[in-house]
Structure 1
């Protein structure tokens, strides 16, 4: 009897295991904004991944965006949340700067594009992905601007891996 009581007391004192939301890189209560004034046609071209959250677990990738009859299409291989993700298909958009991309855990929101469309900061309201795509040289000033945009949108930039 005493053993049963001791076991019950021990069980009552044990704390419930903590659950960790894997792949959440931004504060859930932080506001997030997509780029509402961008020219989506300027996304067409070849992009290299230069940074990602969880990026230490896989190699950087890239994306090829093309214009099709129904809008933009994409073919990509990216390191996202430590997992290599690949896919292809239409980039459906219901509003400027926000896309549904085949095979993704959430929507892609373009948080920022520099004035010449050489650097894109991509995030998601659910915080499960965040990465930076670039074309050509990637100077420190654009990296700083991209990090600032991510931080402004609630991302923990200490967890960003720059390749």
Structure 2
């Protein structure tokens, strides 16, 4: 009996693992659509994070996408739900515009890319992430389009933090 009590007391002293709370930024019953006509090869290059849901609490990051033997490769550091997330590896294509990305709480769906592939709107069906990646200047018309795309896919655009 004393051993059981001692074991319970000892287990209470062990620190629980830190859990990162991830927000849900979209209505769970809202339909969501990925960009089914995109050219995945045009994703290659350097991207800067210009906005994110839950983007308070950390600095914006970016991503480097390249071609590799196993397909598209990514190295990123992004602010997601107020937490810096970083990883590298293969962006496994689930279908056109949908990727499994290492270290992420859900798949990346490319919801929209402008015609010249300067801006990407990225979300996830589970609503745990949503952000905008960009190359070069980020004019107000593309920000408005990105907000509209998020709203179309069930996100509340008022929660988008623009850096």
Could you say what secondary structure the match of 2:154 adopts? coil
1:50-89 residue pairs with structure 2 within 5 A? 50-89=50-89
Q: TM-score, normalised by structure 2?
A: 0.86
Partner of 2:23: 23
Aligned-partner SS, 2:56 = helix
Counterpart-to-counterpart distance in 2, 1:36 and 1:55 = 27
Q: What is the correspondence of 1:118-137 to structure 2 with a 5 Å cutoff?
A: 118-137=118-137
**1:48: Cα distance to partner?**
0.1
Alpha-carbon deviation of 1:57? Answer: 1.1
Q: How many residues align?
A: 143
2:16 aligns with: none
Q: Deviations over 1:103-138 (max 9, x none)?
A: 000000000000000000000000000000000000
Which residue number in structure 2 is paired with residue 5 of structure 1? none
Counterpart of 2:148 in structure 1 is 148
Number of the residue aligned with 2:104: 104
* Residue 40 of structure 1: how far off its partner (Å): 0.1
**How far apart are 1:91 and its partner, in Å?**
0.2
SS of alignment partner, residue 24 of structure 1: coil
What are the ranges of 5 or more consecutive residues in structure 2 without an aligned counterpart? Answer: 1-20
Paired with 2:81 and 2:112, the residues of 1 have a C-alpha distance of 20
Instruction: Show the counterpart of 2:158.
Output: 158
Task: For residue 151 of structure 1, report the CA deviation from its aligned partner.
Answer: 0.4
Deviation above 4 Å: which 4+ runs of structure 1? none
Aligned residues: CA RMSD: 0.9
Q: Aligned residue for 2:7? A: none
User: Gaps spanning 5+ residues in structure 1: where?
Assistant: 1-20
Q: Structure 1-normalised TM-score?
A: 0.86
| Distance in 1, Cα, partners of 2:106 & 2:95 | 15
CA deviations on 1:22-47 (whole Å, 9 max, x unpaired) are: 41000000000000000000000000
Larger radius of gyration: 1
- CA 1:68–1:22: 2 relative to 1, 3 Å: closer
Report the counterpart of residue 3 of structure 2 in structure 1: none
